[in-house]
Structure 1
């Protein structure tokens, strides 16, 4: 009972555990893969805007999997991200869909414009 109450306030404890495990895996990567993974993770937190914990945990797990495979294979970082790492990171996050914080703001903007148009009699 207490666990359910805590999770209502803080979110899933299992998700937090998985997230921390993925972060530990990321930090254990050899250089330069750890630096690349950390940079992408940071960018995801700012750009991705994913609200769903399951999606975020899955995305981070897949990110770490990708960099672990690259490290094992010795694939150069530039071969993974290409010439435009920003485009690569944004395309990576878009592949996960899910609800994002910006969705609420888009709906709010649309409603404001609709209300303004109605006020003008359009």
Structure 2
């Protein structure tokens, strides 16, 4: 399995996502690609979490393009704030959240199985 397959998971699903992005009007496509870059590099994602987030992102931009919503009408005046708010919606899909949960569960199990 290639590194990219581990990162993105199902290649077909990722290709479909890329096709959808390519079909956006150029300015929306540029905005999605900029957000995608920020979102991908700001956290360590599971493949499922990453694809879910990216598909929701392209859904938002497809719908906004169809309605004629300006890009600033989508992301607001602060694109970083938009991206961080968007990321919080998907925190359970990132690798660090999973590892935090795993650590907490392991300590709880260790505590409950101990004699003192």
TM-score (norm 2): 0.72
Moved segments of 4+, more than 4 Å? 10-14, 101-105
User: Distance between the aligned counterparts of 1:100 and 1:57, measured in 2?
Assistant: 11
Q: Secondary structure at the match of 2:69?
A: coil
TM-score (norm 1): 0.69
2:76 aligned partner: 82
User: Distance between the aligned counterparts of 2:80 and 2:7, measured in 1?
Assistant: 30
**Which consecutive residues of structure 1, in runs of 5 or more, have no partner in the other structure?**
1-5, 106-122
User: Distance between the aligned counterparts of 1:44 and 1:13, measured in 2?
Assistant: 13
Q: Secondary structure at the match of 1:49?
A: coil
Number of positions where the alignment pairs a residue of Structure 1 with one of Structure 2: 99
Which whole-Å deviations, capped at 9, do the CAs of 1:36-80 have from their partners, x for residues lacking one? 111101111111322x11111111100000000011000000011
Q: Cα–Cα, structure 1 residues 55 and 101, in superposed 2: closer, same or farther, change >3 Å?
A: closer
Q: Cα–Cα, structure 1 residues 92 and 39, in superposed 2: closer, same or farther, change >3 Å?
A: same
1:22 aligned partner: 17
**Which consecutive residues of structure 2, in runs of 5 or more, have no partner in the other structure?**
101-116
1:32 aligned partner: 27
Greater CA radius of gyration, 1 or 2? 1
Q: Greater CA deviation, 94-103 or 24-33?
A: 94-103
Structure 1 residues 1-122: aligned runs within 5 Å: 10-11=5-6, 15-50=10-45, 52-102=46-96
Q: Secondary structure at the match of 1:68?
A: helix
